[in-house]
Every structure is written in structure tokens, then in C-alpha cells.
């Protein structure tokens, strides 16, 4: 009505329909769908000076994908998968970054990407139903929708060790590795952390440095990758079977095209179990976890048989029995921390120029001018590498200083741990979508599969809103609470919460202990998301 319009503040047109934060796997595909399929005015904001997300930042020695190349890739374009040539089973970081750059070029994404732009503030305006994003540079932009494609492992965790500022040598975090590389020749290098990253970096740095000292707090169960080049015949066979490979990934619980097993460890003798584990160990990678027994992450005795198997393998690979003993994981069931995949990790401990230090028994006290001091010794070092991981799943979102409807701060809403509806939205934060957010299968899957599912769901949702003249969508509190309860209940039926992993935030001092990913599997999850959409976005409040 004209009278009302005169009194009320006019609705402001937003600068953008959709702002996408992050130019990794998620942000790139989101831009493609938003701009080229939905024809929205879309722009990506990216802190780095190029695309790639995790593969842009993690350039440390030995960085390589733990999933096989032919399914750790986009499935949305059959032309893309047919034309791209992977060199090996597990491609190294530069090759994945090259692939993502190729995708950016092929789909002409760069023209709608703004690099060197870190978003440090996001404020929702209830009147206009728009977000205002502010960049570090001071630039501001308004947008109707925000998609946080900020990655699950992008906010670095650097422990606050006393004395680091006074260290005379150079130090690096693996998640922000210098682009020009680092030459460790002739150097005494210290490496803190034995997660997937430290395990990949160890043999490569060991081969280059004068001496490598590894400071280990928790030993890990690592499985050999068995990387190898892909022959022309293998590559051709993969390409010929892509439809089947992708279908397997999409219909599996973890996004991998592995054979799914129904067998339970208790139904097999110790010898039979050993034969099954051996066959999968020889194949390498995640198969031991994914295809050995269906109850591996549910049943303690089933898990113990796998844990014992891997521990025996470690003993067999490390010559010095004392070092082998230090490398044996005993504090968590196999697979309840993200299992590393390696190339010659345990072999590295057979070198004379590699030393393992147990910093659980004698913790790190400080970084000195010339090295590192633990409770029972001093280590002279020229360089220090922090392979200490990330403030996973929540760090990047919280760092953006998000303020939602009615001035509600994300930091307050998540004080006791992340709460989301389907890992896609947060009650009180309308029109903000998260890709592979906490509460979704995300990090328990082959990521590109989970990412494509989320991005497609978000695109369909925005299309629905457009078609129905709706401008606002917001997760309802009760739907969110029910989902958070379900995520916790499912996790509690498994062995996962037993481990002090980054899945529960245990690696970041002071972080609330909540099992963040959804362990119920991609299949159920996909069905639930589809059902919600089919029921006019059940559990969401939609309005104009
Ligand atoms: P991470 O798994 O969190 O491992 C960090 C390591 O640093 C752990 O050994 C941890 O010990 C140690 N640490 C942390 N704070 C410490 C402290 N104050 N003192 C001593 N040690 C400390 O991190 P990440 O290895 O970077 O891997 C993170 C995730 O990234 C992986 O789980 C995986 O999902 C992903 N990733 C993927 C690939 C791939 O596919 N190519 C490669 C690398 C990483 P505790 O265990 O005791 O906490």
C-alpha cells in the first residue's frame, strides 16, 4: 500500500544475489551453478590470490591426496572427467591445484571471483533480508544469500608455545607453506605433529634435511597408500567406467566407490580376519577401514582385531623395537581419528638421521632461540615445521564474525559447540548456507561427493525460493535441535567419540567437545535432504 511504503524504510536492492566465500572445490562449483545455471548475480570472495582452497594453501613436502584421483574430482561434467588426465593413483598437491585451475578456466569462473579478499565480518539485516559482508580491506558488499564455502580444515591451529617469537630459525605451518618451497638441505629440522600431514611430510623432509626430529604427542595408525602412476590403459578403463564409478560413490555411505561389506568380524576366525586385513592392506589406502568389516567402528572387539593387525605391521616395519613401541597407537580405536595414508612413513624411522621424541611423556616446554626444549631434553634446530592441524569445521566460520537475525552472534550460538540443521543452515542466521558444515557427513566422506550434494541442494533451494517469490529462509529452532540430537545419538552408537580427535575439537585447547560430523552416512543423509526439499523445505521457515 502506498501509505505503508511511505512510512517504512524502503527495501534496498542488494549488490549481489549470492556471495560465495571461498574458491576451493565447494565455492567453484557453487559459482558455476549459481551463475551459469540459475543466472544469479554471483561473486566469490577468496582470501588467497588464486583458486584451490585447501590445495592452494597446503603445499608442504609430500602433500598428496589420500583419495584416489579418479573419484577425488568433480562428477558434474562428463566432458571434464573425460578430458582431464590424472598422472597417478594419488595425485600430489600441485596436480590437484592444476586440475582446479583448469576447472576455473574451463568454466570461466575467474571473472566472477575476487581474490586477495578475506571476509572478516558478516551482518544480517532483518529489514532488507540481506547480508553485508566486510573485507579486511574495508570494502563492503550486500548480498541476498551467502554461501560459506570456507572449508572444514582451513583455519590453522598453531599451538601457543612459549618462546616461538624468539626462535632464530625459520618456522612454518604446513597449511600456509611458502609458494617458492623450502630447502631443508643441510638443516636440522623439527616437525611437530603426526597426523595425516606430519605423516606425509616426514619421509620427504627426512630425505632432504641433515637431520629430522619428530615430536609426537599421539601415535597414529597409518596405512600404506601404494601410490603408482596410472598407465594409459588404466586411465582409459577408468574413463570408460566413469558412470559406474560415480554411481557407486553417490550411493555409498562414505562417497567412495569401494565394495561395501556386510560381514561382521565376530563371524570370522582370527586367521580369516587376518587374511581379509592383509588383502586390503596390500591394496592400500582407505580400503582396510571401508571394506574389511561392517562393525569396525561400532564394535570394540572387531576394532581391536584391526588395531592389532596394524600395530603388528608397524612393529614389522620399524627396525628399532623401542622406536616401534613409541609408534604404536594405543589410546584410540583404529579409524576413530581420521586414518592417515602414507608413502614410506614407517621406513623413515629406520634412517640414522631421523629421531622420534615422545612429547606425551615429556611435553614441549618452550621454543628456545636455537631449538626446542621438552621436559627432559633440548633439541638444537635450524627450522621448525608445525603439522599441528586445524580448528576444524567451525574455525573458519567463527573467524568471519557472523551476526545473524536480531544481532545474534554466531560465537554465542555455538558457545557449547556447533548447532546446525543438516549442516546446511544455522537457526537465527537466515539466508546463510554452509557447505559441508558441522552436522553433515562432510569429513567422514570423500569430500567432492559431499560437496557436490550440498552445493546442488543449496542451488535447488535458492531456485525454489526464486520461483516462489520468497526472499528469506531460516532453519527452525526445533528442527535444528532434533537434528543436533540425532547427530549426537548416532555418533554415540559408534566408537568415534572415544578418540581425542579433531572430529570432537580435542586438538584445540578450550574448544567444546562435540562430535561434529554426521556419522549416519551419506545415503541416509542424502535421503533426508531430498525429503526436506520435497516437503517444501520442511524444518525451515520461508517467507518474503
Ligand atoms: P591433525 O590430524 O589434527 O594432526 C595434528 C598433529 O599435531 C597431531 O599429531 C597432534 O597431536 C599434534 N599436535 C597438535 N597440537 C600439539 C601440541 N600442542 N603439542 C604437540 N603436538 C600437537 O592435523 P593434520 O595432520 O594437518 O590433518 C588434519 C586433517 O587434514 C586430516 O585428518 C585430514 O582430514 C586432512 N588431510 C588430508 C590429507 C589428504 O587427503 N591428502 C593430507 C593431510 C591432511 P594429537 O593427536 O595428540 O592431538
Q: What is the pLDDT of residue 297?
A: 96
CB neighbours of residue 485 within 10 Å = 10
Q: What is the pLDDT of residue 7?
A: 53
- Tell me which residue has cell 562428477: 75
Q: What is the pLDDT of residue 8?
A: 65
Q: Percentage of the chain with pLDDT > 90?
A: 97
Ligand 1 close to Cβ of residue 195 (< 6 A): yes
> In this structure, what C-alpha cell is assigned to residue 27?
565455492
> In this structure, what C-alpha cell is assigned to residue 155?
583455519
**Nearest C-alpha neighbor of 190 from the set 342, 48, 378, 339:** 378
- 509 C-alpha vs ligand 1 centroid, how far in Å? 14
Ligand 1 close to Cβ of residue 95 (< 6 A): no
d(CA 161, CA 56): 26
| SS3 call for 216 | strand
Threshold 0.95, pTM exceeds? yes
Residues forming beta bridges with residue 134, ordered by sequence position: 121, 140
- 281 C-alpha vs ligand 1 centroid, how far in Å? 22
> In this structure, what C-alpha cell is assigned to residue 371?
631449538
**What digits encode the pLDDT tens for the residues 486-530?**
999 999 999 999 999 999 999 999 999 999 999 999 999 999 999
Q: Where are the beta strands (DSSP E) in 22-139?
A: 42-45, 113-114, 119-125, 130-135
**What digits encode the pLDDT tens for the residues 143-169?**
999 999 999 999 999 999 999 999 999
Those residues whose C-beta lies under 8 Å from the C-beta of residue 82, and which sit 6 or more positions away, are 239, 242
Residues forming beta bridges with residue 223, ordered by sequence position: 341
> In this structure, what C-alpha cell is assigned to residue 418?
556447533
**Nearest C-alpha neighbor of 336 from the set 356, 363, 306:** 306
Q: Point out the ligand 1 atom lying closest to the alpha carbon of residue 338.
A: 32
Ligand 1 close to Cβ of residue 444 (< 6 A): no
Q: Point out the ligand 1 atom lying closest to the alpha carbon of residue 196.
A: 25
The answer to whether 86 and 230 are in contact (CB under 8 A) is: yes
Residue nearest to atom 43 of ligand 1 (CA): 197
- 388 C-alpha vs ligand 1 centroid, how far in Å? 5
- Tell me which residue has cell 575476487: 114
Residue nearest to atom 15 of ligand 1 (CA): 388
Residue nearest to atom 28 of ligand 1 (CA): 389
Amino acid at each position: 500500500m502506498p501509505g505503508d511504503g511511505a512510512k517504512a524504510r524502503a527495501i534496498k536492492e542488494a549488490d549481489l544475489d549470492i556471495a560465495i566465500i571461498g574458491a576451493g572445490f565447494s565455492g567453484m562449483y557453487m559459482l558455476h551453478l549459481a551463475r551459469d545455471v540459475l543466472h544469479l548475480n554471483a561473486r566469490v570472495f577468496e582470501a588467497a590470490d588464486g583458486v584451490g582452497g585447501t590445495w592452494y594453501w597446503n603445499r608442504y613436502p609430500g602433500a598428496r591426496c589420500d583419495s584416489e584421483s579418479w573419484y577425488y574430482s568433480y562428477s558434474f561434467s562428463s566432458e571434464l572427467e573425460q578430458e582431464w588426465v590424472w598422472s597417478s593413483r594419488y595425485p600430489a598437491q600441485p596436480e590437484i591445484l592444476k586440475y582446479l585451475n583448469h576447472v576455473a578456466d574451463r568454466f570461466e569462473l575467474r571473472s566472477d571471483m575476487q581474490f586477495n579478499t578475506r571476509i572478516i565480518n558478516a551482518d544480517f539485516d532483518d529489514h532488507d533480508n540481506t547480508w553485508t559482508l566486510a573485507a579486511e580491506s574495508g570494502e563492503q558488499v550486500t548480498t541476498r544469500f551467502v554461501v560459506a564455502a570456507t572449508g572444514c580444515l582451513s583455519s590453522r591451529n598453531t599451538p601457543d608455545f612459549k618462546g616461538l617469537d624468539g626462535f632464530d630459525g625459520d618456522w612454518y605451518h604446513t597449511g600456509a607453506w611458502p609458494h617458492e618451497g623450502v630447502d631443508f638441505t643441510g638443516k636440522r629440522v623439527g616437525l611437530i605433529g603426526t597426523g595425516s600431514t606430519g605423516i606425509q611430510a616426514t619421509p620427504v623432509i627426512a630425505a632432504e634435511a641433515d637431520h629430522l626430529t619428530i615430536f609426537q604427542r599421539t601415535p597414529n595408525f597409518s596405512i600404506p597408500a601404494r601410490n603408482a602412476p596410472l598407465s594409459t590403459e588404466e586411465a582409459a578403463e577408468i574413463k570408460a567406467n566413469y558412470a559406474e564409478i560415480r554411481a557407486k560413490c553417490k550411493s555409498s555411505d562414505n562417497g567412495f566407490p569401494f565394495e561395501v561389506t556386510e560381514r561382521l568380524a565376530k563371524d570370522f576366525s582370527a586367521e580369516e580376519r587376518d587374511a581379509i586385513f592383509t588383502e586390503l592392506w596390500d591394496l592400500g589406502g582407505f580400503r582396510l577401514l571401508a571394506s574389511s568389516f561392517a562393525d569396525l567402528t561400532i564394535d570394540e572387539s572387531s576394532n581391536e582385531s584391526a588395531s592389532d593387525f596394524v600395530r603388528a605391521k608397524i612393529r614389522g616395519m620399524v627396525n628399532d623395537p623401542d622406536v616401534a613401541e613409541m609408534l604404536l597407537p594405543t589410546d584410540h580405536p583404529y579409524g576413530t581419528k581420521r586414518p592417515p595414508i602414507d608413502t614410506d612413513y614407517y621406513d623413515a624411522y629406520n634412517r640414522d638421521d631421523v629421531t622420534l621424541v615422545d612429547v606425551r611423556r615429556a611435553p614441549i616446554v618452550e621454543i628456545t632461540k636455537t631449538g626446542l626444549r621438552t621436559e627432559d631434553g633440548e633439541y638444537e634446530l635450524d627450522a621448525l615445521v608445525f603439522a599441528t592441524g586445524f580448528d576444524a569445521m567451525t574455525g573458519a566460520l567463527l573467524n568471519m564474525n557472523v551476526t545473524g537475525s536480531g544481532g545474534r552472534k554466531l560465537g554465542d550460538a555455538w558457545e557449547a559447540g556447533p548447532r546446525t540443521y543438516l549442516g546446511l543452515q544455522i537457526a537465527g542466521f537466515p539466508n546463510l548456507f554452509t557447505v559441508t558444515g558441522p552436522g553433515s557427513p562432510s569429513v567422514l566422506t570423500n569430500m567432492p561427493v559431499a560437496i557436490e550434494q550440498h552445493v546442488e541442494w543449496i542451488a535447488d533451494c535458492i531456485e525454489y525460493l526464486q520461483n516462489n517469490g520468497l526472499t528469506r529462509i531460516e532453519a527452525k529452532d526445533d528442527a535444528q535441535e532434533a537434528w543436533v540430537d540425532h547427530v549426537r545419538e548416532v555418533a554415540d552408537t559408534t566408537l568415534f567419540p572415544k578418540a581425542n580427535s579433531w572430529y570432537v575439537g580435542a586438538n584445540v585447547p578450550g574448544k567444546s567437545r562435540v562430535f561434529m560430523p554426521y556419522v549416519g552416512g551419506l545415503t541416509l543423509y542424502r535421503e533426508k535432504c531430498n525429503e526436506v526439499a520435497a516437503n517444501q523445505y520442511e524444518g525451515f521457515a520461508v517467507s518474503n
